[in-house]
Amino acid sequence: MEKFSRWRDAGTGIQPFLPPVPARQSTSALESLISALSMVIKPVLGLAKLLVAAVVSTVMFIFVDGIGSILTETVTLRRGRSAGAAASSSKKASGKKAMPWGQIIVSNWTSYIDVLYLAFRYDPVFTQIYPDTLTVREVSMWKAMELSGSYPELAPPQGVQTYPLIDFLKDSQQKGKGPIVIFAEGTTSNNRALLKFVPLFRKCQIPETNVDINILAFKYDYQKFCPTFTVGFGRKSQIGHMFRTCAQFYNQLTVRALAAEERPSNSNFSALSGLASTPIGLATGVVESVVDGDALGSVILNLMGQISRLRKTGLGVRDKADFLDFYVQRNSGVSATAATKKSGGVASRASASSAKKRA
């Protein structure tokens, strides 16, 4: 849409914030009839799946085992090595002694379904990132789901204690908590590209052997309605999105994990190999620059782009806040912060102030 062209990445031409809309296709009379019948069946299907979730008393079950399928695979970026060999190496590496700072999981963020998958698979500690202060705080799984698609908080609300990433990792490790989930983009995208990372890893080195860094990439395959959730305020909006996702006949989530020996926490990892890539449209062997003084974050983003085969953009969390300001105003006539407060969602005063200054 031309009205949203301001948030189209100049380098890739990708718009990473708009909810995906399927392309219009010419259909025959038979296809039109089948489509009409599916419009009757899909709401029933969606309601049935939600009822199953209520019976088993967990939303997680329906998203992991009910509405579609999940494919999890270990990926190696080294030529000549099989996925089986990479998986074997990962299993061996998983048996090593605990790192002094613990374990983190860095992944792209596209939906509340990502949160459910991570909770089901790893039982981790979820975090919320504040770009203005480059700090994080612990949040519950339900809070992480609520934050998906909501207006991003750029600074912590008054009275909320936050910590630099390294301090948070050390404290969590001392308390014996599980792996720490870092959604380094700071907000959700529509799964068509990767957003610029918030520079949380500036004080880390390469390789960073004090922490076990797991790099995951989420990608969705679906029929017409996309499970990604980039715009939505409050539980009512999320429940409506859940229902439409459940109403589809087919959804598949593919999760790709980088092999353990190729992660930047491996002692043999080099910054040069981490920044060298062959993204679409660029020549083989291109070495990319460090972004915002965050060498480790740039490496992780680059590796994530390679295992996900998603392009990297120059857009980030602040661009998402600007986009939501415009998107909500355009579609409802009210500001994004007002829409968030009305729905009971999340929007900090700092975010609203920052948005006004940008306007």
Confidence at residue 357, expressed as pLDDT on a 0 to 100 scale:
43
The C-alpha angle 286, 188, 193, rounded to 5 degrees, equals: 30
Query: Count of CB atoms within 10 A of residue 94's CB?
Result: 11
What is the full DSSP assignment across 177-242?
A: --PEEE-TTSS---SSEEPPPP-TTTT--SS-TTSEEEEEEEEEEESSS-----S--HHHHHHHHH
Confidence at residue 355, expressed as pLDDT on a 0 to 100 scale:
40
* β-bridge partners, 74: 257
Residue 169 has pLDDT above 90, yes or no: yes
Spatial distance between the Cα atoms of 6 and 319, rounded to a whole number of angstroms: 10
Nearest residue to 232 (alpha-carbon basis) of 190, 181, 196, 191: 190
pLDDT tens-digit map of 49-71: 666 655 544 555 445 444 456 88
- Pick the more confident residue, 257 or 50: 257
Q: Is 167 helix (H, G, I), strand (E, B) or coil?
A: helix
Segment 333-357 mean pLDDT = 54
Torsion angle, alpha carbons of 155, 157, 160, 161, to 10: 20
Residue 220 has pLDDT above 50, yes or no: yes
pLDDT tens-digit map of 178-204: 999 999 999 999 999 999 999 999 999
Confidence at residue 129, expressed as pLDDT on a 0 to 100 scale:
98
Residue 94 has pLDDT above 70, yes or no: no
The C-alpha angle 34, 36, 40, rounded to 5 degrees, equals: 110
Confidence at residue 57, expressed as pLDDT on a 0 to 100 scale:
42
Question: How crowded is the C-beta side of 321, counted as CA atoms within 13 Å?
Answer: 27
Confidence at residue 235, expressed as pLDDT on a 0 to 100 scale:
77
Residue 351's alpha-carbon distances to 156, 290, 342, 344, in angstroms, are 9, 27, 16, 16
Domain ranges of the chain: 30-315
What are the contacts of 239-244 at 24+ separation with CB within 8 A? Answer: 242/50, 242/59, 243/46, 243/47, 243/50, 244/46
Confidence at residue 287, expressed as pLDDT on a 0 to 100 scale:
77
Nearest residue to 212 (alpha-carbon basis) of 173, 174, 185: 173
Q: How confident is the model at residue 302 (pLDDT cuts 50, 70, 90)?
A: very high
Query: Count of CB atoms within 10 A of residue 92's CB?
Result: 11
Confidence at residue 33, expressed as pLDDT on a 0 to 100 scale:
64
In the chain, % of residues over pLDDT 70: 70
Residue 3's alpha-carbon distances to 18, 23, 94, 328, 331, in angstroms, are 11, 18, 48, 13, 12
Omega of the bond leading into 207 within 30 degrees of 0 (cis): yes
- Mean pLDDT highest for which of 41-45, 135-139, 288-292, 321-325? 135-139
Q: How confident is the model at residue 334 (pLDDT cuts 50, 70, 90)?
A: low
Query: Count of CB atoms within 10 A of residue 127's CB?
Result: 22
- Pick the more confident residue, 164 or 290: 164
Residue 344 has pLDDT above 90, yes or no: no
Confidence at residue 167, expressed as pLDDT on a 0 to 100 scale:
97
- Mean pLDDT highest for which of 197-211, 231-245, 271-285? 197-211
Segment 318-327 mean pLDDT = 93
Confidence at residue 342, expressed as pLDDT on a 0 to 100 scale:
62
Confidence at residue 264, expressed as pLDDT on a 0 to 100 scale:
96
Question: How crowded is the C-beta side of 144, counted as CA atoms within 13 Å?
Answer: 28
Tally helices (H) and strands (E) across the chain.
Answer: 12, 11
The overall average pLDDT reported for the chain is 81
Confidence at residue 313, expressed as pLDDT on a 0 to 100 scale:
95
Is residue 253 exposed (0-12), middle (13-18) or buried (19+ Cβ within 10 Å)? buried
Confidence at residue 240, expressed as pLDDT on a 0 to 100 scale:
85
Confidence at residue 277, expressed as pLDDT on a 0 to 100 scale:
66
Confidence at residue 352, expressed as pLDDT on a 0 to 100 scale:
42
Residue 132 is encoded by which pair of tokens?
A: 């203005």
Confidence at residue 351, expressed as pLDDT on a 0 to 100 scale:
42
Residue 325 has pLDDT above 70, yes or no: yes
Asked if 99 and 265 touch (Cβ cutoff 8 Å), the reply is yes
